[in-house]
């Protein structure tokens, strides 16, 4: 469709909705966010690195294939490097927000191939405010998870374009397998949205599935060669894998579908002034945008290449909304078929809600198709429906602020924990082990304050690097539980600080051992700690806690967790 005044109005409306939805719903409090969980190994070590080093980093990832997904490592690193160059931690968050907004605009462009401009705006907003995935704020996921969705959506647009662009869509879609595999699934089922021409459907499906199989096959070979343990372990028990695949087809949509209603309810129940103001802004911008595009009639919607054609030279109509709705629901379900590792797909809070990320695309199309069915611009029914959808989206913004406040509270708890942990261990140096027992207080289910990454956090707060071999080992046993293995050999106790690795067990030196007890968020240093059915004893004397606080290394992590201890540049 030629770019004219109507096209410009629609583009402006889509950009406005995307920008406001992202910043009003998810990044309003970005100046209060910090680092969380996997951020400490994927984001923090690369903040401040020179951008020119990204080329060699990409080459390294494709030579070594970490976790079988080279882009899974590279995309967060690129986000951290480029974002921190633009403006430190806030620069990283702004870049993450822009990337999410771009994905929303890509969803809009896909929807325009199927539905009206007004319904496509609904798809855009529903995708960006999708409540089932609460990890849009998590920087590591903004890198590789949303990056994978970018590959998917670009591939979908190329597939719709037909011709040589359709052939290009397969290698682009394959990039999702190198970042976050789940995003590949909607592409496999894509022809459900736009069937092949009559008489060519069997051949069309065979070619499409062959292209998808080639991409998966190449990725599988690369993973086997590079020894991807996770993929091999997940596929080891064939019957269990089959059971998980089948049951995920309904467990996933049931969970994420319920979130479309429970999320707004939770948002309304937990409001604050900033959330209300954000919701009001989104409601105003969205309603004006829909009214604007509805008042600008023009060719509707752009027809994907490969579907049944109309008269030569004419722009055929899009698929009927019932078809789009049914196909979207089918793709929505299929988006969960590979939930083998983080099974079952019933997570409603926390880092593992990323299992719902691929379903956000077909779910937003399904919501938009329902809107298409009922919306009639200029009628009282149309105005009532627009008001209802606008209110629903505003409530999703309120839910987004519930998630945002969870991230803010988690950062506050991190700062309290690490302030105590550092002040209680001023004598700790290279070769030491710090173990924390007890039960920490969970301040929010949205994101953990303490997790497996504590090892990296401690090292980056002291004069060590995250991956230094001789740096202190740290573990919060009240968080890790039985993931950590302890073994007594004679009179010595051994453990593996990086429990996820295949490294040999390390001996714990009682003279270089600091034991802390976490009693609901209050730490104290002790000489004995129950570990694995026995008592672990430290012979190192406990130093007095004195002021001023232990000096911190001038690292990115230290500046994030203790900004008050560093001068403002």
Q: Which pLDDT band holds residue 550 (cuts at 50, 70, 90)?
A: low
Distance CA 285, CA 73 (A): 37
Is pLDDT of 442 > 90? no
Q: Provide the token pair at 124.
A: 């855009």
Closest C-alpha among 151, 386, 367, 197 to residue 290: 386
Distance CA 533, CA 543 (A): 28
Task: Give me Rg for the CA atoms of the chain.
Answer: 26
**Residue bearing the bigger pLDDT, 361 or 223:** 361
Q: Which pLDDT band holds residue 316 (cuts at 50, 70, 90)?
A: very low
Cβ atoms of 461 and 553 closer than 8 Å: yes
Task: Specify the pLDDT at position 258.
Answer: 97
Q: Which pLDDT band holds residue 236 (cuts at 50, 70, 90)?
A: low
Highest mean pLDDT among 62-66, 184-188, 315-319: 184-188
Distance CA 538, CA 370 (A): 64
In this prediction, residues 226-230 reach a mean pLDDT of 61
In this prediction, residues 391-406 reach a mean pLDDT of 98
Beta bridge mates, 476: 436
Is pLDDT of 458 > 60? yes
- CA dihedral over 359, 362, 366, 371, signed as positive or negative: positive
Distance CA 66, CA 173 (A): 20
In this prediction, residues 410-424 reach a mean pLDDT of 95
Q: Which residue do the tokens 């900004």 mark?
A: 563
Closest C-alpha among 12, 7, 1 to residue 105: 12
Task: Specify the pLDDT at position 543.
Answer: 87
**Residue bearing the bigger pLDDT, 294 or 37:** 37
Backbone angles phi, psi at 78, to 5 degrees: -65, -40
Q: Provide the token pair at 138.
A: 């998590």
Share above pLDDT 90 across residues of the chain, in percent, rounded to a whole number: 73
**For residue 485, with 0-12 CB atoms within 10 Å meaning exposed, 13-18 middle and 19 or more buried, which class applies?**
exposed
Task: Specify the pLDDT at position 318.
Answer: 55
In this prediction, residues 509-531 reach a mean pLDDT of 94
Is pLDDT of 569 > 50? no
Of 228-242, 366-380, 526-540, the poorest mean pLDDT is in 228-242
Task: Specify the pLDDT at position 66.
Answer: 87
**Residue bearing the bigger pLDDT, 310 or 239:** 239
In this prediction, residues 252-256 reach a mean pLDDT of 97
Per DSSP, 541 falls in state P
In this structure, the strands spanning 492-495 and 486-489 are antiparallel
Q: Which pLDDT band holds residue 532 (cuts at 50, 70, 90)?
A: confident
Q: Provide the token pair at 244.
A: 């998980």
Distance CA 313, CA 319 (A): 18
**Residue bearing the bigger pLDDT, 65 or 549:** 65
Task: Specify the pLDDT at position 238.
Answer: 77
Q: What is the mean pLDDT of the chain?
A: 90
Cβ atoms of 297 and 92 closer than 8 Å: no
Q: What is the DSSP string of 242-274?
A: HHHHHHHHHHHHHHHHHHHHHHHHHHHHS--HH
Is pLDDT of 304 > 80? no
């Amino acid at each position: 469709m030629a770019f004219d005044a109507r096209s410009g109005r629609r583009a402006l409306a889509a950009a406005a909705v995307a920008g406001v939805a992202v910043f009003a719903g998810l990044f309003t409090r970005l100046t209060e966010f910090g680092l969380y969980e996997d951020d400490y190994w994927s984001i923090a070590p690369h903040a401040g690195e020179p951008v020119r080093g990204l080329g060699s980093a990409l080459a390294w990832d494709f030579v070594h294939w970490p976790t079988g997904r080279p882009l899974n490592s590279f995309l967060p690193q690129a986000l951290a490097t480029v974002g921190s160059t633009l403006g430190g931690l806030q620069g990283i968050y702004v870049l993450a927000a822009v990337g999410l907004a771009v994905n929303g605009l890509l969803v809009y462009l896909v929807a325009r191939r199927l539905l009206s401009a007004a319904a496509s705006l609904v798809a855009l907003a529903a995708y960006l405010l999708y409540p089932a995935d609460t990890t849009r704020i998590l920087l590591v996921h903004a890198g590789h998870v949303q990056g994978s969705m970018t590959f998917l959506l670009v591939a979908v647009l190329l597939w719709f374009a037909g011709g040589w662009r359709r052939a290009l869509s397969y290698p682009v879609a394959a990039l999702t397998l190198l970042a976050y595999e789940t995003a590949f699934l909607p592409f496999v089922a894509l022809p459900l949205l736009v069937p092949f021409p009559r008489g060519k459907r069997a051949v069309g499906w065979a070619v499409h599935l062959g292209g998808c199989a080639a991409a998966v096959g190449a990725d599988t070979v690369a993973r086997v060669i590079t020894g991807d343990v996770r993929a091999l372990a997940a596929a080891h028990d064939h019957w269990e894998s089959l059971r998980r695949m089948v049951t995920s087809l309904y467990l996933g949509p049931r969970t994420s579908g319920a979130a479309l209603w429970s999320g707004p309810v939770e948002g309304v129940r937990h409001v604050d002034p900033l959330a209300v103001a954000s919701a009001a802004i989104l409601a105003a911008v969205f309603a004006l945008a829909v009214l604007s595009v509805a008042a600008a009639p023009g060719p509707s919607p752009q027809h994907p290449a490969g579907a049944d054609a109309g008269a030569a030279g004419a722009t055929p109509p899009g698929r009927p909304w019932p078809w789009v709705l049914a196909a979207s629901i089918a793709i929505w379900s299929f988006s969960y078929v590979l939930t083998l590792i983080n099974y079952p797909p019933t997570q409603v809070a926390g880092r593992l809600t990323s299992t719902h990320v691929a379903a956000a695309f077909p779910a937003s199309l399904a919501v938009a198709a329902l809107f298409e069915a009922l919306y009639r611009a200029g009628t009282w029914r149309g105005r009532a429906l627009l008001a209802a959808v606008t209110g629903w989206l505003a409530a999703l913004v309120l839910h987004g602020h519930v998630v945002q406040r969870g991230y803010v509270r988690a950062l506050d708890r991190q700062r309290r924990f690490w302030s105590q942990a550092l002040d209680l261990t001023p004598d700790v140096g290279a070769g030491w082990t710090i173990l924390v027992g007890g039960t920490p207080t969970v301040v929010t289910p949205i994101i953990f304050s303490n997790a497996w990454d504590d090892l990296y956090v401690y090292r980056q707060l002291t004069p060590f690097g995250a991956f230094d071999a001789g740096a202190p080992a740290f573990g919060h046993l009240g968080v890790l539980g039985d993931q950590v293995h302890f073994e007594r050999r004679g009179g010595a106790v051994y453990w593996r600080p990086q429990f996820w690795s295949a490294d040999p067990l390390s001996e714990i030196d009682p003279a270089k051992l600091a034991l802390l007890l976490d009693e609901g968020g209050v730490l104290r240093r002790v000489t004995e700690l129950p570990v694995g059915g026995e008592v672990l004893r430290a012979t190192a004397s406990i130093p007095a806690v004195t002021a001023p606080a232990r000096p911190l290394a001038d690292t990115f992590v230290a500046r994030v967790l203790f900004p008050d201890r560093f001068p403002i540049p």
